[in-house]
Structure 1
Amino acid sequence: MAAAVEVARAAAVDVGGDSVGEHLGVRAEPEVDRVATHAFAATLPGYVGWYWAVTVARVSRSKTVTVDEVVLLPGDGALRPPPWVPWEERVRPGDLSPGDLLPPPPPGDPRLVPGYVLSDDPAVEAVAFELGLGRERVLSREGRLLAAERWHESDRGPETPMARNAPAHCGTCGFYLPLAGSLQAAFGVCGNEITDSDGQVVSVEYGCGAHSQVAVETSAVAEPAELVYDDGEEISAD
């Protein structure tokens, strides 16, 4: 079977035509007796590092070699397409443009629960009771925890360089608007138009240099220098 290079090449050319290159070697298939695979370089445009694999076999007590299959396989360092990701999982934050419509979360999404059951969020329950109606689905406890984790790790979280160098936290700032419900203790919205966080969710432990209660020390206003006259010209004592 190792000597059946031309038999294997003929089978590869029958499938790959002129894209079949030099013979790269042969290896025995360890899990099957009397089966080997010949490898030929592939010269197809766009298939760098790929090769034609031709598997041949021999029946017991026979000298005749037959071709089992011919396939194009990636070798070491071959260019490959990225792993397949379903469309609904490929959409990332920031991909949504005006006019785009995304499918609703599938039934059973752990982030959402039916609105007619207890939402475990006091603010949601209070609104539903007051109006006598509610949304079809609301955030579950897991959904709120995922949102909280995402916001905590964002660039408006407590571990960012801006927060670490801030003179005080957002929780003590007059521009801080706390969220309602179970997330109230940890997050709010910035209402200071001077900052780049205006209108965004910030951690109660986030902070920036525009805190409402931090006074900026100003240097004392220098007294006018004493004037000295020399030969009728006014000059400064300094």
Structure 2
Amino acid sequence: MGHDLPVITTARPKPDSATVAAVDAARAALLEEVDAADVGDHLGHVVEGERVVTHLFACTRAGYVGWQWSVTVARASRAKEVTVDEVVLVPGEGAIVAPSWVPYRERIKPGDLSPGDLLPVDDDDPRLVPTYSFGDDPLDADEKAQIRTVAKDLGLGRVRTLSIEGRELAAQRWYDGDGGPDAPIARSAPDSCTTCGFLLRIAGPLSEAFGVCANGDANDDGRVVSFDHGCGAHSEVRLAKKHAPQPRPEHAFDTLTPTDLEEF
């Protein structure tokens, strides 16, 4: 017969009547720290552990809607009086709190850089790979500095170039952006860029999906566009007859002479 595994249960601490009833003591400790005008009604308590209870009071301080004063009290074994452990201000449900911190490097968007701003790229940025490298082994700082020197001596022009991941990220970003097929102007376009005479072809691995618009009248002039992008400035677009400008009437020639005017 197999042995039954022991069942482990975690018992919740029982409420301690003395600490639960210590509302006045908790409020008194709170009023030693903050003004009475900032303290509202008692909102309840939370049993934190054996003979440890946290009492919650509404915060009425301006600008702290939904926040609560938290006063934790405890009672030693066989002691009659409770002691105050801590007094803190905590957010409750619906409280206005600051959004989660996002590093500046992750918050910056295209167009945020101003003249003179610098945005360094990390040495281990996965979007870039060394133009000249020693192989796939990780490189330390000295080896990276040596790579830069070798690349400069060889006249390669660039120390690093796009990795496959960097190229795919750029392609996806362009395709999902204003130059892709889902842009509002593309969805209502009469035809796609792939048949437009203003599309400039590019070289490289992205040449089969993207080009550059060279139409000075188009919104995307000078920008990368996908072949299935489009706009109303397509080189082959033609207006329907009802939208075509109406022909001007023939010129009227004035044949009146001063003599004719005198007769009137």
**Same fold? TM cut 0.5:** yes
* Alignment match of 2:178 (pick from 155, 169, 173): 155
User: 1:223 Cα deviation (Å)?
Assistant: 11
Distance 1:150-1:19 versus aligned 2 partners, 3 A rule:
farther
User: 1:15 Cα deviation (Å)?
Assistant: 2.3
2:90 equivalent to 1:111:
no
2:163 equivalent to 1:140:
yes
* 2:191 alignment partner in structure 1: 168
User: 1:117 Cα deviation (Å)?
Assistant: 4.4
User: 1:216 Cα deviation (Å)?
Assistant: 3.8
Write the distance in 1 (CA, Å) between the matches of 2:35 and 2:44.
20
Write the distance in 2 (CA, Å) between the matches of 1:115 and 1:7.
70
Distance 1:75-1:93 versus aligned 2 partners, 3 A rule:
same
Q: Contact conserved, 1:23 with 1:38, CA < 8 A, in 2?
A: no
Matches for 1:8-157 after TM superposition, within 5 Å: 8-18=26-36, 20-30=38-48, 32-102=49-119, 104-117=120-133, 132-157=155-180
TM-score (normalised: structure 1): 0.79
Q: Secondary structure of 2:194's match?
A: helix
Amino acid aligned to 1:17? D
Distance 1:117-1:206 versus aligned 2 partners, 3 A rule:
farther
Q: Which runs of 5 or more residues in structure 1 are unaligned? A: 119-127, 225-238
2:25 equivalent to 1:7:
yes
Deviations 1:59-114 (A, max 9, x none): 22222211111110011111111111112222122211222222x12222111111
Q: Cα RMSD over matched residues?
A: 2.5
User: 1:135 Cα deviation (Å)?
Assistant: 1.0
Amino acid aligned to 1:165? S
Amino acid aligned to 2:110? P
Q: Secondary structure of 2:222's match?
A: coil
Amino acid aligned to 1:195? A
Write the distance in 1 (CA, Å) between the matches of 2:54 and 2:46.
6
Distance 1:42-1:223 versus aligned 2 partners, 3 A rule:
closer
Q: Which runs of 5 or more residues in structure 2 are unaligned? A: 1-18, 135-150, 251-264
Amino acid aligned to 2:125? D
Write the distance in 2 (CA, Å) between the matches of 1:150 and 1:74.
38
Q: Secondary structure of 1:15's match?
A: coil
User: 1:50 Cα deviation (Å)?
Assistant: 0.9
Amino acid aligned to 2:92? G
Q: Secondary structure of 1:143's match?
A: helix
User: 1:140 Cα deviation (Å)?
Assistant: 0.9
* Alignment match of 2:217 (pick from 176, 181, 194): 194
User: 1:221 Cα deviation (Å)?
Assistant: 6.8
Identity %: 55
User: 1:199 Cα deviation (Å)?
Assistant: 0.6
User: 1:34 Cα deviation (Å)?
Assistant: 1.2
